Amino acid sequence: MLRNPALKTIHAATQRHVSSQVRHYSRRALTTLAAFPDLRMETMVQTTPKHGMDVIHDPLLSKGTAFSLSERERLGIRGLVPPRTQEMDKQLQRIIRNLRECRTPLEKFVFMTALQDRNETLYYRLLIDNLEELSQIIYTPTVGEACQRFHSIYRRSRGMYFSSLDRGQMAAMVHNWPHDQVDVIVVTDGSRVLGLGDLGANGMQIPIGKLSLYVAGGGIRPTSILPVVLDVGTNNESLLNDPLYLGMGHRRLEGDEYYSFVDEWVHAIQNRYPNALIQFEDFKYPHAYNLLHKYKDNICCFNDDIQSTSAVALAGVLAALKARGKAIDDLNEERIICVGAGSAGVGVCEGIIDCMVEQGKVKSREEAYSKIWMLDQHGLIGNSNLSSSASASPIGVGDRANLDERQLCYLKKDMSDRMSLEEVVKAIKPTVVLGLSGAPGVFTEGAIRAMAEGVEKPCVFPLSNPTHQSECTAEQAFEWTDGRAIFASGSPFKDVEYKGKIRKVNQINNAMSFPGLGLGITVSRASRVTGKMFMETAITIANMATEDQLKNGVLFPGVGQLREVSKEVAAKVCEVAYDQGLARAQLRQGVSLKNIIEESMWDPEYVPLIRVDGHM
Ligand SMILES: O=C([O-])CC(=O)C(=O)O
Ligand SMILES: [Mg+2]
């Protein structure tokens, strides 16, 4: 895309690069751009060396039926599309009507994917204008089903796959990606897709969906994103046994083999795209942590499930403090239960601990750990020397996985190991219960009712995705707390009518954090992603709701306002990047950070296409 404040600049540019077709017009004394009536009032044009069918079939260039006559002429597509030029608003009417005729969410997903594959400008316009509704299709919850069915609904490739066959080849392979500028990469190994477990290469839909939100919510350019799957195999038996599965049909690489595979990829990517932000997504525990700690101080990267989920969960807890008439620096007074000790559970709790320590109201990190009770799939992480009640475990019994030092920080020496959620609730009277377990129904009626007896406004946050993996439903949360709950879930629920009153639900999903973070990193060209950026993101989001919204149980804006949220988050992340000396971009003087952010956000609109002989 070429920003051109003066037409004469366009003219000069086209003179330098004009294709033979345009030259043909020039020779006919059309040097005043009379051949480009669509350019007269324009300040922006897009150039391409392509013409004919190649333009129509390139989703980054195609306008479908919206090509103007003069564009059709100069791009050699006259007669190749229906004669009537249909502007974007008409296209949107048609698309929305067709979309609403799809019967199931998965059909809508396939429809949206097809649109993205035909015309990205229109896809993103539709998405931005209907973010709340359509994020539920291209993102959670429907994207979960799309991953499970990926190999059946597969139509056309998007993104890049690096598989166990590609070891030793990755440095060359990265050059197969057609774009020289990449700002954001989302990469998964598909080992823990949402709360759905190991989905192998089918996990590709997750990076694609996340990156769609980077574009729609964070204004990153669609040409500057790269979805990646590292296909190191799968341990999912049904995929291994499915002849139609598209990923590698062997078990997962583990140990050194696994880490050297990821390392080869990281180096290959760094070589071609040294400035790109890498988002690690849906890696199982403890790989997620190990990779984060290996790379976070050396390259510009973060783990979404650990750090972004942590930022938004912290934002939810802080906003809920305000909703209960407290200040956000009263965090140390909370008693928090976290059900789930995987990457998201541990990450969320670490963010809360960091914030307590930062606020200075706890004397030590150890004191902060004493405010959080963590349960894994066997129950409370407690003292196994005290009498155990393993059979009462809310999420099944079995051998407790070996706990590592991150999880052991939360061990409660004075309480029995494996106590059930209800037992823990009765013992400690929590103010907040967080669900990051991927185990639906773990927030039992007994546990939530017991919680509601102990506090006026219990914060019930079942954060597992997609919706059917949620630890309880919104209806249950309000019913079991007599409508007093402050409710937030990872995937969307509808507001609930309880005893004649509408009870508000919130969505605490890392989507509120990563698009703004990516925008801030891209604008500042920050070299690293830091813990401070996530902490400030949390505080920024926690301060977005008005007094009235808080009173009504609304903790912060919904996904529908993602662009606004992202602007605020991006401005804060930029500020931190400059404060921490990590920013490499020179910002224009005399223009506010917010304005710079806003101007840098890509907005899907059609701009005149000009054919050129080479790249400009
Ligand atoms: O994708 C989402 O909705 C949130 C997320 O990262 C996860 O659950 O792994
Ligand atoms: Mg995730």
Ligand 1 center to residue 22 CA distance, Å? 48
pLDDT of 3 > 50? The answer is no
Cα–Cα distance measured from residue 105 to residue 109, given in angstroms and rounded to the nearest whole number: 6
pLDDT of 323 > 50? The answer is yes
pLDDT at 385: 81
Task: Look at strands 609-611 and 459-462 and give their pairing.
Answer: unpaired
Percent of the chain with pLDDT over 70: 90
Cross-strand bridge partners of residue 336: 372, 432
pLDDT at 33: 47
User: pLDDT tens digits, residue range 196-212?
Assistant: 999 999 999 999 999 99
CA-based diameter of the chain, in Å?
94
Residues annotated catalytic, as ranges: 139, 210
pLDDT of 40 > 70? The answer is no
Ligand 1 pocket mutation pick from 135, 136, 138, 140 by most atoms within 8 angstroms of CB: 140
pLDDT at 35: 52
| Contact of 593 with 569, CB cutoff 8 Å | no
Query: What average pLDDT is seen over the chain?
Result: 91
Q: How many residues can be counted in the chain? A: 616
Which residues are within 5 Å of ligand 2 (an ion), measured at CB?
282, 305
Element (H, E) at 504: none
Give the pair of three-digit tokens for residue 415.
Answer: 């309480």
Q: What band does 407 get if pLDDT is binned at 50, 70 and 90?
A: very high
| Contact of 528 with 521, CB cutoff 8 Å | no
Calculated CA dihedral for residues 266, 267, 271, 273, nearest 10 degrees: 10
Ligand 1 pocket, residue 140 CB under 6 Å:
yes
List CB contacts of 382: < 8 A, sequence separation 6 or more: 411, 412, 413, 415, 416, 417, 418, 419
Q: What band does 613 get if pLDDT is binned at 50, 70 and 90?
A: confident
pLDDT at 11: 37
For residue 615, give the DSSP letter.
-
Average confidence (pLDDT) over 409-423: 96
Does the pTM exceed 0.95?
no
Ligand 1 pocket mutation pick from 194, 196, 467, 493 by most atoms within 8 angstroms of CB: 194
Quick one: which of 102, 270, 94 has its CA closest to 185? 270
Percent of the chain with pLDDT over 90: 87
pLDDT at 6: 35
Ligand 1: nearest atom to the Cα of 193: 9
pLDDT of 27 > 70? The answer is no
ipTM score for this prediction? 0.98
Q: What band does 384 get if pLDDT is binned at 50, 70 and 90?
A: confident
User: pLDDT tens digits, residue range 154-189?
Assistant: 999 999 999 999 999 999 999 999 999 999 999 999
Q: Is 465 annotated as a binding residue?
A: yes
Ligand 1 center to residue 309 CA distance, Å? 8
For residue 307, give the DSSP letter.
I
Ligand 1 pocket, residue 304 CB under 6 Å:
yes
